[in-house]
Amino acid sequence: MSTSTALAVLCGLLLGTGCWLILVRLHFMRGRTFSDRIEPQLKFRSLESRLLHTPAHNLTPFGPLERILRPIMGDAITYLSRFNIGSAALGKRLARAGSSKSTLDFRAEQLLWAGAGFVLSVLVVAVSAAAGQFSPALSLVSVVGGAIAGYLLRDYVLGRKIKRRESAMMSEFPSLAELMALAVAAGESAMGAMDRVSRSSRGELSAEFTVVLADTRSGKPLAEALQAFSSRSELPPLARFFDGLVVAVERGTPLADVLRAQAADVRDAAKRDLMESAGRKEIAMMVPLVFGVLPLTVVFAAFPAVAALEMSM
């Protein structure tokens, strides 16, 4: 395939895509939902202040283009959500990552990443076609694989963010628990100690303390706010810590002793994890030692003897 033919095929694909987008966005081609039909007949007055509304933010730096493509993205997300049975699980993962995005925003980002992978794959195929190396089957697999890889890469990035955040929370937890124990021993209540710790420290766990305090100040009982965070987090030490706080608040057990015991347990768990990690790395270090260093040592030790034997013969 020549360069002009490849460019013609690319222009034809772009023209066909544009015509298809124009066709499906026509008014008579779009099915209206029941809520869209009855919305003009309803009179609704929102009593919520406009200062509390979350401002709409763009997901891409292309503001006008994003506003033009937003209805298409919304339709695509709605269509894909029919095949997605993990919206609740995705919302929990976003909460674990400390993200304020909704599941709709995350799916939109996944579509954008898939579109970026698709565009890159098309560019690679076009360049290879211009160089005279074009295979229809390989090109189709590359384009589809690039889009799927972009879609899955966004989910992988979210998983890595969750792991980094949970690791940071576990490293901060013993120190914050001991600070809370000191504050409680000095006469502070559980909520006051948590407020003092969240104001005097910076980190992921202190940010979660701030969220718990915001829930309690908005009218939710402290026990329910703590149980909500315990259900959000999948870290067993943190879940036990907040469950212990709930029991101490409800039953009036000595809170300082509970906090110190929880901090000691987490430090012991960190030591065990460190020892296990050191054991795994020690075994992994045997591979270069056996297959790299040991053969060279044998060669250096045996070479003088072999050379002496050759000289004597």
- pLDDT tens digits, one per residue of 75-99: 666 666 555 546 777 777 887 887 7
- The DSSP secondary structure of the chain, one letter per residue, reads --HHHHHHHHHHHHHHHHHHHHHHTSGGGSPPPHHHHHGGG------S-GGGSPPP--SSS-HHHHHHHHHHHHHHHHHHHTT---HHHHHHHHHHTT----HHHHHHHHHHHHHHHHHHHHHHHHHHHHTT---HHHHHHHHHHHHHHHHHHHHHHHHHHHHHHHHHHHHHHHHHHHHHHHHHHTT--HHHHHHHHHHH--SHHHHHHHHHHHHHHTT--HHHHHHHHHHH---HHHHHHHHHHHHHHHH---HHHHHHHHHHHHHHHHHHHHHHHHHHHHHHHHHHIIIIIHHHHHHHHHHHHHHHHHHH-
88-132: pLDDT as tens digits: 777 778 878 877 788 888 888 888 898 888 889 888 888 888 887
Residue 143 has pLDDT above 80, yes or no: yes
The residue extents of the domains of the chain are 168-269
Position 30 pLDDT exceeds 70: no
Q: What is the largest CA-CA distance in the chain?
A: 109
pLDDT in tens, 207-225: 888 888 888 888 888 777 8
pLDDT for position 9: 81
- pLDDT single digits (tens) 228-242: 777 777 777 777 777
Conformation bin of residue 226: beta by default, left when phi > 0, alpha when psi is -120 to 50: alpha
Quote the pTM value.
0.59
What would the mean pLDDT of 289-295 be, rounded to a whole number? Answer: 83
Please enumerate in sequence order all residues whose Cβ is within 8 A of that of 116, keeping only pairs 6 or more positions apart, or say none. 150
Task: State both tokens at 241.
Answer: 């810590």
Query: Do the beta carbons of residue 259 and residue 178 sit within 8 Å?
Result: yes
Q: Cα 139 to the chain's mean position, in Å?
A: 31
User: Residue 238 and residue 262: Cα distance in Å, rounded?
Assistant: 9
Determine which of 1-5, 83-87, 264-268 has the lowest per-residue pLDDT on average. Answer: 83-87
SS (H, E, C) 240-251: HHHHHHHHHHHH
Mean pLDDT, to the nearest integer, of 148-174?
86
Contacts of 244 by beta carbon, 8 Å cutoff, 6+ apart: 258, 259, 262
Q: Encoding tokens for residue 69?
A: 């493509």
CA distances from 299 to 205, 288, 290, 295, 309 (A): 54, 16, 13, 6, 15
At 53, the pLDDT band (50, 70, 90 cuts) reads low
Give the orientation angle of helix 222-232 with respect to helix 236-251, to 10 degrees. Answer: 170
